[in-house]
Amino acid sequence: MKRHLTAIISLIIATMALSAEPLSEAGDVHLIARVGYNIGGTAPLPMPPEIRKLNSYSPRFSPSVGFDMVKNWSSRWGTLLGVRVENKGMYEDANVKNYYMELTKGGESIAGNFTGDETTYVRQWMVTVPLAVTLNVRKVMFKFGPYASVVFNHDFSGWAHSGYLRVDDPTGDKVMLGEEEGERGDYDFSDSLRDVQFGMQLGADWQIGRHWGAYADLSWGVTGIFNGRFNTIRQTLYPIYATIGVVYRIK
């Protein structure tokens, strides 16, 4: 009991010590430049049983560059308005079973339940505008709020391979799909991606020197990446990305 009480008192003292040196004063306005890298992917939540295993994953070139204006309303609280130019991209290969797909093989379109491996490339270049509440605790600025993204260049394409597709339903005719081009089933759903996305973002900036610092953010899309008319992929795919990078306080 004494050990727990000591730990609680130590935590209270540490919190008071952190709060003793505010990062900013009331009325301050800061302009911050940031350069980072997005790591994550688009995924259904929860993961459906049709997706059995993730064979491989790698992020695509996904930089994030932008500026923020931060207005402090007190020594602790403020608001942030920013703009980013960024890419949210990934490559993945997964093993699926009875996963509904629409494919093109040998110039013909086929649709049905696929069992095997599928490979997908995702690229979404966008302009993102975050709006956040900020909390300054010593040299750390915490932030939380919504964002909106306008997608101006995108790609969602791939192929199904190393398996078979049952045409129309799980008991339909079997179409074998190989690994080589011409043997596999290709798909491209880029035209069905949303032009505008919304989500929530939380993160923190660490001020290391007078101007330089580091940051880490987590963004979670609340709208799926496809528009409402698209129903080939039955699950909603959400963009979920972490961003790490450096900040430079201009003012």
Q: What residue numbers bound the domain in which 171 lies?
A: 23-249
* Other Cβ atoms closer than 10 A to 105: 19
Q: What is the pLDDT of residue 229?
A: 87
- 44-78: pLDDT as tens digits: 888 889 999 999 999 899 999 999 999 999 888 99
- Mean pLDDT of the chain, nearest integer: 88
Given pLDDT bands bounded at 50, 70 and 90, which one contains residue 30? confident
- Is residue 61 in a domain? yes
Q: Do 160 and 113 meet the contact criterion of CB atoms below 8 Å apart? A: no
Is the confidence at residue 34, as pLDDT, over 90? yes
Q: What is the pLDDT of residue 22?
A: 47
CA nearest to 237, candidates 223, 227, 220, 224: 224
Given pLDDT bands bounded at 50, 70 and 90, which one contains residue 27? low
Share of the chain above pLDDT 90, in %: 70
Angle of CA points 81, 86, 91, to nearest 5°: 140
The separation between CA 106 and the C-alpha centre of its own chain, rounded to angstroms, equals 34
Mean pLDDT (whole number) for 84-107: 93
The secondary element (H helix, E strand) that includes residue 180 is: none
- H helix count then E strand count, the chain: 1, 12
Given pLDDT bands bounded at 50, 70 and 90, which one contains residue 4? very low
- Is residue 4 in a domain? no
Q: What is the pLDDT of residue 24?
A: 55
Is the confidence at residue 147, as pLDDT, over 80? yes
- Is residue 11 in a domain? no
Mean pLDDT (whole number) for 75-87: 94
- Is residue 224 in a domain? yes
Is the confidence at residue 25, as pLDDT, over 90? no
The separation between CA 13 and the C-alpha centre of its own chain, rounded to angstroms, equals 37
Is the confidence at residue 1, as pLDDT, over 50? no
Is the confidence at residue 17, as pLDDT, over 70? no
**Residue-wise burial string across 92-102, b where 16 or more C-beta atoms lie within 10 A, e elsewhere:** bbbbbeebbbb
Q: What is the pLDDT of residue 244?
A: 96
Mean pLDDT (whole number) for 102-107: 88
Q: Is 68 helix (H, G, I), strand (E, B) or coil?
A: strand
Mean pLDDT (whole number) for 115-123: 95
Establish how many alpha carbons lie within 13 A of residue 166's alpha carbon, considering only the half-sphere containing its beta carbon.
10
Q: What is the pLDDT of residue 45?
A: 85
Rounded Cα gap, residues 147 and 199, in angstroms: 5
Q: What is the pLDDT of residue 122?
A: 96
Q: Do 58 and 91 meet the contact criterion of CB atoms below 8 Å apart? A: yes
- 173-219: pLDDT as tens digits: 899 998 888 889 999 999 999 999 999 999 999 999 888 999 999 99
- Is residue 176 in a domain? yes
Q: What is the pLDDT of residue 9?
A: 42
Q: Is 122 helix (H, G, I), strand (E, B) or coil?
A: strand
Q: Do 224 and 42 meet the contact criterion of CB atoms below 8 Å apart? A: no
Rounded Cα gap, residues 101 and 140, in angstroms: 46
- Is residue 28 in a domain? yes
- Is residue 10 in a domain? no
- Is residue 6 in a domain? no
Q: Is 139 helix (H, G, I), strand (E, B) or coil?
A: coil
- The tokens for 99 are 């996963």
Q: What is the pLDDT of residue 26?
A: 58
What is the DSSP track for 18-43? HTTS-SS-TT-EEEEEEEEEEEEEEE
Is the confidence at residue 96, as pLDDT, over 70? yes
Count: domains in the chain: 1
Give the CATH number for residue 226: 2.40.160
The secondary element (H helix, E strand) that includes residue 89 is: none
Return the DSSP state at 13. Answer: H
